[in-house]
Amino acid sequence: MTGFQELYHKADVTEFRNKVLADQQVQLWEKYDALNKLVKQPNIVFAGDSITEYFPIHEMLISNFPLYNRGVHGINSLQLLEHLHTQVLDLRPTKVVLLIGVNDLKIRHPEEVCETIETIMATIQQKLPETEIILLSVFPMNESPRFVRTPNHRNNDSINQLNNLLSNLSKKV
């Protein structure tokens, strides 16, 4: 391992990174709670993890409706489900674009992740029956040793398995 990777894997560094991440996530959810009071109707919401959060929706997309980005870096589908009001339901969108699941694959199997995403979608449909849900597949990853920081279940095989499950799930909607 390189010096960076050795430092990255030290227990005290990992614990510190996790605390910083959790604090940043809480700050984002609090910010979103405040911003949700200003939301205009109708609208389109993008919800998910860092890929969503850092996607420049206002620079890349044109819409007749306001676009709201409610991505939160580092979250998994269980956290999205837990914060579904802040990230989706409170905005009462006409459409919601979901991109979630890759962070789950660090510790969960694709079938478990798909079940959680199905619960997220069912909750949205139950609370907001008129909302259209657009479910995106999870992006592949670069598996070279240079980019893989920690050994886990997240690899292109598990991503492909999850995407196949999500494809079947999207056909049910």
Measured CA to CA, the distance from residue 15 to residue 96 in angstroms comes to 33
Torsion angle (degrees, nearest 10) of CA 22, 27, 29, 34: 170
pLDDT of residue 1: 45
Contacts of 171 by beta carbon, 8 Å cutoff, 6+ apart: none
CATH code of the domain covering residue 164: 3.40.50.1110
The tens digit of pLDDT for each residue in 108-148 reads 999 999 999 999 999 999 999 999 999 999 998 877 776 66
Domain of residue 155, residue span: 3-172
Measured CA to CA, the distance from residue 168 to residue 98 in angstroms comes to 15
Tens digit of pLDDT at every position of the chain (173 positions): 455 556 555 666 678 888 888 999 999 999 999 999 999 999 999 999 999 999 999 999 999 999 999 999 999 999 999 999 999 999 999 999 999 999 999 899 999 999 999 999 999 999 999 999 999 999 988 777 766 655 566 788 999 999 999 999 988 76
Measured CA to CA, the distance from residue 77 to residue 49 in angstroms comes to 9
- What is the total count of domains within the chain? 1
Nearest-10 crossing angle of helices 110-127, 156-172: 30
